[in-house]
Structure 1
Amino acid sequence: MKHLSKFFVVALLVLGFNNLQAQDENNPWQVSFGVNAIDVYPTDDSSTSINLPPYETGTLFSEYFNANDHWNILPSISYIAVSRYIGDGFSIGARGSLNRIENLGDVRVDDVSHFAVDGTIKYNIFQNTKLDPFVEVGGGYTWVDEIGAGTVNGGIGVNYWFTDNIGVVLQTQYKHAFEDYGVKHFQHLGGLNIRFGGTDTDGDGIYDRDDACPEVAGLEAFNGCPDSDGDGIEDGKDSCPDQAGSKEMNGCPDSDGDGIADKDDACPNEAGIAALAGCPDADGDGIADGQDQCPNEAGPAENNGCPWPDSDGDTVLDKDDQCPQVAGTVANNGCPEVTEEVQKQLNDYARTILFDTGKSSIKAESTSVMVDIIQILNEYPNAKFTVEGHTDSVGSAKLNQSLSEKRANSVRDFLIGKGIGSDRLTAIGYGEEKPIATNNTRAGRTQNRRVEINLIK
């Protein structure tokens, strides 16, 4: 049993010092030192251990707080402990203590030494609090008057932390001896705690465990993350970490105060609107002033922000006006409409066109009439017309048809030669099919030999 106890103590010490886990909490190391008190009275141990005189005992907790009669205390530092946090509230460690027993129960003795080395497993009930209660179990070896015995230990205690690193501890534990000659007893401890060993990679005073940015020096207010531009917004949440800005702009500046961050503002020094990437639109036409050729007059994008002109003032915009230089009607796409009066006048002129007898050549005396016709056609630049040739019934129908076609084409060609668009004129010959008077009289036949110019509707 004695060898087993020694092996147990050594094993705990090895665990405490050689197989500690890697750091994973702030200040994982803790050193404690102070005074300890040994109380062998309330242990219900009636043996006469280690050749000491018999001593009176009570039940386990009888006279537990009778420090005057039963506690043995050295007036100096009498214990030192070291432990290492391993996670989830658990720490393992080792503790050494010494004392001198003068009160053996109710018996007074002289110069009985007490030495103990213990391994500990501690569980802190609340972590990261000033008031820090814990429970502890472990085992070790205790020498009383140079005779040793293995013990198994269990106790409770409480730490109080003044700072992250400095605190005090009060603890009590029961140490039960394995061997029959061992002394069962309570050991009470009170002392100073010092915690250390936390890692601060970036040197900002915030341990890596609590540092959201452990590789970059930062501020405590931001859990160790930096605020490079000093605008009160940590870099990780700052859309412009190198330029001071506002929370409303996610840390970016807004130089023109238009509610659009400079980084997203195409016109950062001129207040504008979001729809135009922060640029102004003075005339409200939806085109940024910088791209608007008429920034003070609303106009469509198709015309570079300028209003469409209406050159002839007929209320039909030039872009839709087929006759932009001549006033017309909306119904006729901005062009003037050929009225019945104009149509009559046009045919009055056309019917006076004279041809050489039996031919399609226009006589010179008809030139003035042709000029009048041209003037009328020019007044209606988008209107299209048919040039129709007619004859009387003298001669064969086949010859008359051919002659009418030739005379119609002769007039068309003349007009085209004077600038009338060829796409506006169509020549048709009707021969003797459409008389407007009788062919039985000379006067009637004269009326039937004619050219008409009619509007294509």
Structure 2
Amino acid sequence: MKNLSRLLFAMLLVLGYSNVNAQDENNPWQITIGTNAVDAYPSGDGIPFSETIFSKFVDTDNYNILPSLSTISVSKYLGDKFSFGVAGSINRISKWGEVPGSSEAITVDDLSYYGLDGTIKYNFLNGTTIDPYLGLGGGYTWIDEVGAGTVNGTLGLNVWFNENIGLTVQSAYKHAFEDYLQTHFQHTVGISIKFGGVDTDGDGIYDKDDACPDVAGLEAFNGCPDSDGDGIEDSKDSCPNEAGLTEFNGCPDSDGDGVADKDDNCPTVAGLKALAGCPDADGDGVADGDDKCVNTAGPAANKGCPWPDTDGDGVLDKDDNCVDIKGTVANNGCPEVTEEVQKQLNAYAKTILFDTGKSTIKKQSAAVLSDIIKILKEYPTSKFTVEGHTDSVGSETLNQRLSDSRANSVKEYLIENGIDAFRLSALGYGESRPIDTNKTRAGRANNRRVEINLAK
């Protein structure tokens, strides 16, 4: 009864230890229940790592085995692959050491064996199926109710069948501090169970693996919730409280127009993406709600109504530089100077007369100048160059000066009679651009001329 009390006391210590610290990681606790074998043959005369200590290490004939539940251990994971455990064990000893000077085992009379040991373990491949470890620790061992302290070295292997259950095989070398307790090995085989993971939100996913440990969620989303049940976790759902579509990050599209309700200015009426989900009946790019002419296409600048074209030249008034004069699209609604008009201008311009050797315009040229002005006013946006030319009589310098002066005289006359100054420029070419021979009177008359040409 006394021996049984010792074993129960050891187990109570172990189980009590298992509840000392709070559980804060996935399966931080490991309990192992199994059987053990004690081997003190050979003892190596108590000398650690002597020549004989491992000579019959695997000779099971020398093992003292209690074929029942004889070992229980509990360990706590500390972090960084380290754990600390406490183990309690019992056995019955019938072979203890060897006869000095021979290889025969010393037979003893069914001695009791009790052990209580603490071990710090390092798991090399923590978290894997094959999980080897080394341990270092110490304890107290009683043989036939006589006890002594030991220092222990441990080599073991866990083989995990799943996340929580596995097989543990371990060998511990126990070196005694007292001569009356021989150095020996204790081998253990048992079933191990890992447990104790924390699940704060109660969703069945341990906090360590739970991306949202304080909020109940789904395994598919690593413990994070999907409040609206649309298959998109709340953290990635732009509308977490309304079931929606993946393409809209979890937001609904009530009218099915491809624009999520949160971005749809007309969520109950199918519309266009370009108009934030609102319809455009006349297709003019102006949403019906802003279109003053819903069924007639028109520009946004005119609130969806068409612009007027007063002169009917195909250029809207807003773009027409000559609103009341029919023109061309290429010339922004203004008429273009044709080759025929250009010829007419120069036909008139050639008849402008000047006082001999001067730039003074003769009065009889007023009529033709009036015709020129009428033509220029028909093309209000066109610009012209007034060009002066002379014959070759006289010096080239004087002819150049005279042509400049006559061109400017015509320009000033036109400005004074209603033609905008920005539309006109003047340039003299002297005798450099004759259009006829200077050897005859008629030829020289043709060369003395003014031209009014469209500016390029």
The TM-score range, normalised by the shorter chain, is: 0.5 to 0.7
Equivalence for 1:413: none
Equivalence for 1:431: none
Matched, 1:230 2:223: no
Q: In 1, Cα distance between the equivalents of 2:320 and 2:125? A: 87
CA displacement, residues 110-151 of structure 1 (integer Å, 9 cap, x when unaligned): 121111111111122222223322221110111112222211
Q: Shift of the alpha carbon at 1:277?
A: 1.7
Segment of structure 1 superposing worse, 289-298 or 89-98: 289-298
Equivalence for 1:28: 28
Equivalence for 1:91: 83
Matched, 1:101 2:93: yes
Give the AA of the match of 2:161.
Answer: F
- Please give the residue correspondences for 1:9-408 in structure 2 after superposition, counting only pairs within 5 Å: 17=17, 22-45=22-45, 59-67=52-60, 69-105=61-97, 106-310=105-309, 313=312, 315=314, 317=316, 328-330=325-327
Q: In 2, Cα distance between the equivalents of 1:272 and 1:43? A: 91
CA displacement, residues 302-360 of structure 1 (integer Å, 9 cap, x when unaligned): 21111112366454645578998xx64459x9999xxxxxxxxxxxxxxxxxxxxxxxx
Q: Shift of the alpha carbon at 1:29?
A: 2.0
1:307–1:251 CA distance, 2 compared to 1 (3 A): same
Aligned length: 313
Conserved 8 A contact 2:311-2:326 = no
Conserved 8 A contact 2:239-2:251 = yes
Q: Shift of the alpha carbon at 1:163?
A: 3.5
| Percent identical residues | 65
Counterpart secondary structure, 2:200 = coil
1:61–1:283 CA distance, 2 compared to 1 (3 A): farther
Equivalence for 1:401: none
The alignment's TM-score, normalised by the length of structure 2, stands at: 0.61
Segment of structure 1 superposing worse, 212-221 or 100-109: 100-109
Task: List alignment gaps of at least 5 residues for structure 2.
Answer: 1-9, 98-104, 336-456
Give the superposed CA RMSD.
3.4
Give the AA of the match of 1:220.
Answer: E
Q: In 1, Cα distance between the equivalents of 2:327 and 2:122? A: 95
Give the AA of the match of 1:253.
Answer: P
Conserved 8 A contact 1:102-1:111 = yes
Q: In 1, Cα distance between the equivalents of 2:315 and 2:139? A: 108
Conserved 8 A contact 2:18-2:75 = no
Q: Shift of the alpha carbon at 1:258?
A: 4.0
Counterpart secondary structure, 2:247 = coil
1:112–1:240 CA distance, 2 compared to 1 (3 A): same
CA displacement, residues 173-227 of structure 1 (integer Å, 9 cap, x when unaligned): 1111122332111111111222222211111101112111111111111111111
Q: In 2, Cα distance between the equivalents of 1:46 and 1:194? A: 35
CA displacement, residues 69-122 of structure 1 (integer Å, 9 cap, x when unaligned): 111111211111112112112111211111111122423221211111111111
Moved runs in structure 1, 4+ residues, more than 6 A?
320-324, 333-336
Conserved 8 A contact 1:43-1:58 = no
The alignment's TM-score, normalised by the length of structure 1, stands at: 0.61
CA displacement, residues 33-53 of structure 1 (integer Å, 9 cap, x when unaligned): 211110111431279xxxxxx
CA displacement, residues 396-427 of structure 1 (integer Å, 9 cap, x when unaligned): xxxxxxxxxxxxxxxxxxxxxxxxxxxxxxxx
Q: Shift of the alpha carbon at 1:276?
A: 2.1
Q: Shift of the alpha carbon at 1:255?
A: 3.6
1:173–1:267 CA distance, 2 compared to 1 (3 A): same
Q: Which has the larger radius of gyration?
A: 1
Counterpart secondary structure, 2:45 = coil
Give the AA of the match of 1:80.
Answer: I
Q: In 1, Cα distance between the equivalents of 2:73 and 2:320? A: 101
Task: List alignment gaps of at least 5 residues for structure 1.
Answer: 1-9, 48-56, 337-457
